[in-house]
Amino acid sequence: MKPNTMLSILTNRFLAGCGLLLLLSGMFFFACQNPGLRDGFSDDAARQVYVPPGEYDEFYSFFSGGFSGNLTVYGLPSGRHLKDVPVFSQFPENGWGYTEETRPMLNTSYGFVPWDDAHHPELSMTDGVPDGRWIFINANNTPRVARVDLTTFATEEIIEIPNSAGNHGSPFITPNSEYLVASTRFSIPIPQRDMAISDYAGNFRGSLSFIHANTPGEMDVAFQILVPGFNYDLAHAGKGPSFGWMFFTSYNSEEAHTLLEVNASQNDKDFIAAVNWQRAEQCVADGNARQMDTRYFHNHMDRATQSAVSTEKTSVTVLEAADCDQMVYYLPTPKSPHGVDVDPTGQYIVAGGKLATVIPVHSFDKMMQAIADEAYETTIEGIPVLQYEAIIAGEVENPGLGPLHTEFDGQGFAYTTAFISSEIVKWRVAEPWDVVDRIPVFYSVGHLMIPGGDSQNPWGKYLVAMNKITKDRYLPTGPELAHAAQLIDISGDKMRMLLDFPTMGEPHYAQALPAELIMDNQVQFFPIEENEHPFATKSEAQTRVERDGNTVHVYMTSIRTHFAPDNIEGVQVGDEVFFHVTNLEQDWDVPHGFAIIGANNSELLIMPGETRTLKWTPRGEGVYPFYCTDFCSALHQEMQGYVRVSPRGSDVPLSYATGN
């Protein structure tokens, strides 16, 4: 062996040894750096999220379904999935958007729209606190806002937003549910017209809509404020001292129309639009607004007839920002702000500048002073831009990379998500505006939610991080994964990771409130005597089949454990058969289903006391079965029937029977 070979072997071994040492020390330091990971596995955490069999969760939480178009309900702290509430998307599981009663709920000025992208659930409020009456949610793609009733967990009302595109900044609510807002993510020509996209700047407009939300069945666009063509992103209402104001973030003050990732990221600051909605009401009353011709739909489930009533509206009240002074001000805010959140005192307005290095906190008092002093930097299309230094209360240093959203615990602390550094930072909502704690989340958190965390009186206790990337958190399920929510205990000085739980669709935001505000108000079934459905059959004696030309109406009932009628003859190929099935049960948790072979739509899932209608078009002669799809009783499997379909023009008479 040559000496230099020997040397080389020794050197190699020395290097390998050093490498091993480095590796070990790296693992040691890694382990020391990540105590939060191990904390998550302690018995203590398990006890905190364990809800024993037969007991209830402390909170209902409502997660948006994102691209599922639904609202999903989970219990906290267990993370148990309780329900999917169909809102903007057809839902064959219960026939939502397929049945004759519910199809009109999805009517829009674009026709029947069977899908949407739902982002932000928003609980109705009284005195600045969620009251458990309703929850609202936005449709992003075809702009709409829906109201879900929290006694039935069913969508009852949907209002389309005219002059809007990309209804992202919605449906944020005022402290007494006076208004919901809906702002345009995409500025567009208003009214819509054929024009060159490159003529965007100065020609496209944004709209900020204020929607009456406090009277069931009467949701409507009260007025729209037309504003410069930026991208309006999110919003939150003022409260306490800032009651009467609504704050909207905007980005793309560059008014770029292509490659926004670059072109909309050039300005050092974009804006929060502070809108005095009480002033807007006054300007509308003073006649400063105009009526604009447009088309939009209002759809409402009528409780008595159990059927949607769809109404087209043709005019909307529009207010130009420039035509109403002292109504809109721009607050300069660093780097394409995303979330805008108002602390429980109503004094501080926090922006999540997704490309900013600090979290700017604006002071409402300073804002009012700057307005009084006319401390303007400039004016854009008649809207004063206040001086940043005049309105800023503080800047939170080192808040993590990519701050997006903030909620509050009511104890003087704020919690902000940092998307890029994948963490949540806790900071003091007061001098010295310092970060007091931080916890990693897995991975890349978007919104966060604290029960009541955007209200005047947060319940606190827990924080849910809604992560955008899941990767290895659960057993893998191919390329598409469930989304990862994480429950964090915020009751102490230090945040503690308690639980991972998968969520369905793509939840963006969620809201939660104590279970007792909702659970005792639940409708268990619909009283049959109050059923005013035009095709209701309130007893078996009234069941019948009627022919009207090529249309056949089957007035059917279901009760444990049979349909009446369950033998139908005289239907012909080419008929349109409407099965109007009334569930005669008057007991909790006894829905009946109805499915028939070859139906081109869905099943029916009929709650006790309810009537639902399925359209069926038989394509060939034969004898076709139908059956109950909801395991209703011991003899559920016997709950079935047949329809005989004869050739067109056959002389088989229309007949029906049960039990002969």
Partner 1 sequence: MTSLYRITLAVASLALLVAYVAPIWSISLEAPQYPEGIGMYIWINQITGQKPHDLQNINGLNHYIGMKAITPETITELKVIPWVIAFLIGLGLVAAATGKPVMLGIWVGLFLTCTVAGLIDFHLWEYDYGHNLDPTAAIKIPGMHYQPPFIGTKKLLNFTAHSWPALGGWIAFSSLLTGIVLLISQIRTSASARSQKNGIHSDPRPHE
**Where do contacts with partner 1 occur on this chain (CB under 8 A)?**
559-560, 585-588, 633-635, 638
What gap in Å lies between CA 496 and CA 76, rounded to an integer? 15
Taking CA atoms, 390 is separated from 248, 267, 353, 372, 396, in Å, by: 19, 20, 19, 11, 17
79 Cβ contact partners less than 8 Å away, ≥ 6 residues apart: 49, 485, 487, 499, 500, 501
Q: Which is nearer to partner 1, 54 or 549 (CB)?
A: 54
Q: Are 352 and 412 in contact (CB under 8 A)?
A: no
Q: Least CB distance from residue 458 to partner 1, whole Å?
A: 34
Q: Which is nearer to partner 1, 215 or 660 (CB)?
A: 660
Indicate the SS3 state at residue 191.
Answer: coil
Q: Least CB distance from residue 57 to partner 1, whole Å?
A: 18
What gap in Å lies between CA 29 and CA 483, rounded to an integer? 30
Q: Which is nearer to partner 1, 541 or 634 (CB)?
A: 634
Q: Least CB distance from residue 53 to partner 1, whole Å?
A: 13
Q: Are 225 and 280 in contact (CB under 8 A)?
A: yes
Q: Least CB distance from residue 537 to partner 1, whole Å?
A: 16
Which residue bears the tokens 């992202």? 168
3-state per-residue secondary structure call for 327-363: CEEEEEEECCEEEEEECCCCCEEEEEECCCCCEEEEE
What gap in Å lies between CA 549 and CA 358, rounded to an integer? 71
Q: Least CB distance from residue 56 to partner 1, whole Å?
A: 13
Residue 179: CA count within 13 A, CB half-sphere: 25
Q: Least CB distance from residue 609 to partner 1, whole Å?
A: 10
Residue 228: strand pairing partners? 205
Q: Which is nearer to partner 1, 110 or 588 (CB)?
A: 588
Q: Which is nearer to partner 1, 424 or 584 (CB)?
A: 584
Residue 38: strand pairing partners? none
Q: Least CB distance from residue 634 to partner 1, whole Å?
A: 7
Q: How far apart are the first and last CA of the chain?
A: 103
Q: Which is nearer to partner 1, 71 or 590 (CB)?
A: 590
Q: Which is nearer to partner 1, 9 or 635 (CB)?
A: 635
Q: Least CB distance from residue 605 to partner 1, whole Å?
A: 20
Eight-class DSSP state of 634? T
Q: Which is nearer to partner 1, 181 or 590 (CB)?
A: 590
